[in-house]
Amino acid sequence: MVICAVSGLGGIGKTSLALCAAHQAVRDGWFPGGTLFVDFRGYDEDPVTADQAVVALLDGMGVRGADLPQTVAGQYGLFRRLLAEERESMLLVLDNASDAGQVMPLVPGTDHHRVLVTSRDRLTELDAQLIDLDVLNAADAANLIDRSLRLSDRSDDRATREPEAVSELATLCGHHPLALRITAGMLRKRRHRSVASLVDELRGAEDVTAAVGLRPVLEAAYRQLPSEQARLLRLLALAPAAEVSGETAAATADLSVDRTFDLLEELAASHLVTPVPGGTNVRWRMHDLVRVFGAGVVTGDAGLREEGEAARERMLEFYYRWADAADDRLQWLPGKPEPERFADRAGALAWFDGERAGLVAAVQWAREERYADTAVRLSQCLTEYLNWRRSFDDKITVCGAAREAAHRAGDQVSEAIAWNGLGNARRQTGRADEAIDAHTHARNLFHTVGDRHREATAWGSLGGALQVAGRADEAINAHTHARNLFHTVGDRHREAMTWNNLGIALQEAGRADEAINAHAHARELHQTVGDRHGEATAWNNLGAALGEAGREEEAVEVFEKALGGYREFEDWYETGQTLYNLALAHEDAARPAEARTHFVQSADAFTRANAPTEAAEAQSAADALT
pLDDT tens track for 287-334: 767 887 888 889 888 999 999 999 999 999 999 999 999 999 988 877
Q: How far apart are CA 83 and CA 110, in angstroms?
A: 8
Q: Is residue 596 part of a domain?
A: no
Specify the pLDDT at position 212: 34
Residue 555 pLDDT exceeds 60: yes
- 543: closest CA among 526, 522, 528? 522
Q: How far apart are CA 183 and CA 220, in angstroms?
A: 9
Name the 3-class secondary structure at 145: helix
Nearest CA-CA partner of 340 in 315, 323, 356, 316: 323
Count each helix (H run) and each strand (E run) in the chain, helices first: 29, 8
d(C-alpha 50, C-alpha 252), whole Å: 30
Q: Are 7 and 120 in contact (CB under 8 A)?
A: yes
Q: Is residue 506 part of a domain?
A: no
The confidence band for 369, taking pLDDT boundaries of 50, 70 and 90, is confident
Let me know whether 213 and 241 are in one domain. no
Residue 262's pLDDT is 94
pLDDT score at 208: 41
> Could you tell me if 9 and 98 lie in one domain?
yes
Portion of the chain with pLDDT greater than 90, in percent? 52
Give the per-residue pLDDT at 387: 83
From 111, 132, 153, the end of a domain falls on: 132
Cα 245 to Cα 250: distance, rounded to the nearest angstrom: 9
Res. 209: pLDDT tops 50: no
User: Average pLDDT for residues 167-185, to the nearest whole number?
Assistant: 85
Is 284 part of any domain? yes
**pLDDT tens, position by position, 435-472:** 999 999 999 999 999 999 999 999 999 999 999 899 98
Please report the pLDDT score of residue 211 as a whole number.
31
Question: Is 205 a residue whose pLDDT tops 60?
Answer: no
pLDDT at 98: 85
- Please, are residues 519 and 545 in contact by the beta-carbon 8 Å criterion? yes
Q: What would the 3-class secondary structure string for 170-221 be? A: HHHCCCCHHHHHHHHHHHHHCCCCCHHHHHHHHHCCCCCCHHHHHHHHHHHH
DSSP string for residues in 569-624: TT-HHHHHHHHHHHHHHHHHTT-HHHHHHHHHHHHHHHHHTT-HHHHHHHHHHHHH
The per-residue pLDDT for range 33-77, each reduced to its tens digit, is 999 999 998 877 778 889 999 998 998 898 888 888 988 899 999
**pLDDT confidence band for 207 (50 / 70 / 90):** very low
224 band by pLDDT with thresholds 50, 70 and 90: confident
Lowest mean pLDDT among 285-299, 375-389, 571-585: 285-299
Using DSSP bridges, classify how beta strands 3-7 and 281-285 pair: parallel, antiparallel or unpaired. unpaired
Does the residue 57 lie in any domain?
yes
Q: Is residue 543 part of a domain?
A: no
Do 186 and 215 fall into the same domain? yes
Same domain, 185 and 239: no
50 and 101 inside one domain: yes
Per-residue pLDDT averaged across 387-414, rounded? 88
| Helix intervals (H) in 28-85 | 50-60, 72-85
Mean pLDDT, rounded, for 4-14: 83
- Domain check: are 145 and 247 in the same one? no
User: Which residue among 98, 132, 166 closes a domain?
Assistant: 132
b/e per residue, 324-355, with b = 16+ CB within 10 A? ebbbbbbebeeeeeebeebeeeeebbbbbebb
Q: Is the confidence at residue 566, as pLDDT, over 80?
A: yes
Structure confidence at residue 245 (pLDDT): 93
Query: In this structure, is residue 382 part of a structural domain?
Result: no
Count other Cβ atoms within 10 Å, centred on residue 397: 20
Reply yes or no on whether the pLDDT at 2 is more than 90. Answer: no
Mean confidence (pLDDT) of the chain: 89
Assign residue 232 the CATH number of its domain.
1.10.10.10
Residue 295 DSSP label = H
Question: Rounded mean pLDDT of 509-538?
Answer: 91
pLDDT beyond 90 at 215: no
CB-count burial class (<10 Å; 0-12, 13-18, 19+) for 510:
exposed
Terminal CA-CA length for the chain: 45
Helical ranges in 190-332 per DSSP H: 195-203, 214-224, 227-236, 246-253, 257-269, 288-299, 302-330
For residues 175 and 518, what is the distance between their CA atoms, to the nearest angstrom?
72
pLDDT at residue number 580 = 93
Rg (CA), the chain: 29
Average pLDDT over residues 139-167: 92
222 against 325, higher pLDDT: 325
- The stretch 193-201 carries a mean pLDDT of 89
CATH number of the domain encompassing residue 73: 3.40.50.300
| Whether residues 76 and 106 fall in one domain | yes
The arithmetic mean of pLDDT across residues 179-201, rounded, is: 87
142 and 257 belong to one structural domain: no
Domain containing 241 equals: 227-300
246 within some domain: yes
| 533 and 573 Cβ atoms separated by less than 8 Å | no
Higher pLDDT, 560 or 219: 560
Higher pLDDT, 222 or 210: 222
The most distant pair of C-alpha atoms in the chain lies apart, rounded to whole Å, by 93
Strand order in the sheet with 281-285: 243-245, 281-285, 274-278
Secondary structure class of 31 (helix, strand, coil): coil
Q: How many structural domains comprise the chain?
A: 3
65 and 79 fall within a common domain: yes
The length of the chain, given as a count of residues: 626
Domain boundary among 224, 239, 256: 224
Co-location of 253 and 194 in the same domain: no
Please give the pLDDT value at position 497.
Answer: 92
Q: Is residue 296 part of a domain?
A: yes
Note whether 265 and 154 are same-domain residues: no
Looking at the chain, the whole-number percentage of residues with pLDDT higher than 70 is: 97
For residues 56 and 108, membership in a common domain is answered with yes
